[in-house]
Amino acid sequence: MSLEEFCRYLKEEKGVSPHTLRAYQTDLARFAAFLGGEPEKATLAQTRVFLAQEAKKVSKTTLARRLASLKAYFRFLKKRGKLKDERLLYLRGPKLAQRLPRVLTVDEIFALVNAPKGDDFLALRDRAILELLYGAGLRVSELVSLKLSQLSLELRVVRVKGKGSKERLAPFGREAQKALRLYLEAREALLKKRKKESPYLFLNYRAGPLTARSVHRLIKKYALFLGLPAVSPHTLRHSFATHLLEAGADLRSIQEMLGHARLSTTQRYTHLDFSHLASIYDEAHPRAKKKGKRS
């Protein structure tokens, strides 16, 4: 089956983001070029040779992504009854070091969301973006694809279409509500000025839809201004999950809010240091409490 069919399947049935789709296309195009075409006919030996050659050229992280793309394609072939050798599904990649995601403190988050100053369109928009990313724990792809019809300002909730086109309701707080209300007034004025209409919630200054790259850039700008290194939209999502857990929210609830299919994924998004976990254990576990002296 052609790579075009696989990419169409990823886009229409799996609902992957444009960024993820481009990564699959890049990896599989390299594989097809190595084989001279017809990747669906690849043997186990050919695939191993390809991965061995790639290992000499790219980092472990990129090699792991290449392998993940190939295995996704092989699973697609199996689903369609076209896989020649099921051993292709069990290829192993390099072991990657588990890196804990960076998490901002509550004070750093407050400083970041307050960084956009002024009452012009861009400042109001950026403040609303930062408040919603942190306040609802959204992925950046979810944020830029939000339409005005998906927002309920009064109920303080957005209807989000996440990975695999799965929908969920994501609540947000009063500060995000306030920021969104001010931004919506500025948005309406911008559309009137540009004599345009748009279904999208977040717009650029030309009244076009905002891109994920633009959101990355604006967050980086405010973070550098505050002296916060390596801050991305995902940093706000990690912080959202961790702060909720530290405040006593249960993992299942956080899983629902983040839109994760598996609880194990949610656990990777939390970032509690051991001292915090230990203090909770000491306070809550019956066997950790000091016993009174025996008489």
Each residue of 233-248: pLDDT tens digit? 989 988 888 888 888 7
What pLDDT is stored for residue 12 in this prediction? 80
Which one is catalytic: 163, 168, 216, 268?
163
Q: Is residue 192 part of a domain?
A: yes
pLDDT tens digit sequence for 130-160: 999 999 989 899 999 999 999 999 999 999 8
Given a cut of 50, whether residue 123 has pLDDT beyond it is yes
Q: Do 115 and 18 belong together in one domain?
A: no
Task: Report the distance separating Cα 188 and Cα 210, nearest Å.
Answer: 16
Q: Do residues 127 and 252 both lie within one domain?
A: yes
Catalytic residue among 237, 238, 243, 271: 237
One domain for residues 21 and 121: no
Q: Is residue 56 part of a domain?
A: yes
Whether the predicted pLDDT of 31 surpasses 70? yes
- The pLDDT of residue 293 is 44
C-alpha 55/C-alpha 157 separation (Å) is 45
pLDDT tens string 32-51: 999 988 888 899 999 999 99
Establish whether 216 is a catalytic residue. Answer: no
- Does residue 190 sit in the same domain as residue 67? no
Q: Establish whether 78 is a catalytic residue.
A: no
> Which entry of 30, 125, 127, 139 is annotated as an active-site residue?
139
Query: Any catalytic annotation for residue 234?
Result: yes
287 given a catalytic annotation: no
Averaged pLDDT score across all residues of the chain = 86
The answer to whether residue 156 is catalytic is no
Residue 36 belongs to some domain of the structure: yes
Number of domains comprising the chain: 2
Both 25 and 124 in a single domain? no
Write out the H or E segment, with its range, that includes residue 174.
Answer: helix 174-194
pLDDT digits (tens, 9 = 90+) for 104-120: 999 999 999 999 999 99
Catalytic-role residue among 66, 125, 187, 260: 260
Q: Which domain holds residue 50?
A: 3-90
pTM, two decimal places: 0.67
Catalytic residue selected from 24, 73, 183, 269 = 269
Residues 139 and 53 in one domain: no
Amino acid at 246: E
Domain presence at residue 101: no
Q: Is 271 a catalytic residue?
A: no
Residues 192 and 158 in one domain: yes
* Mean pLDDT, rounded, for 72-77: 92
User: Rounded mean pLDDT of 195-199?
Assistant: 95
Identify the burial level of 104 via C-beta atoms within 10 angstroms of its C-beta, where 0-12 means exposed, 13-18 middle and 19 or more buried: buried
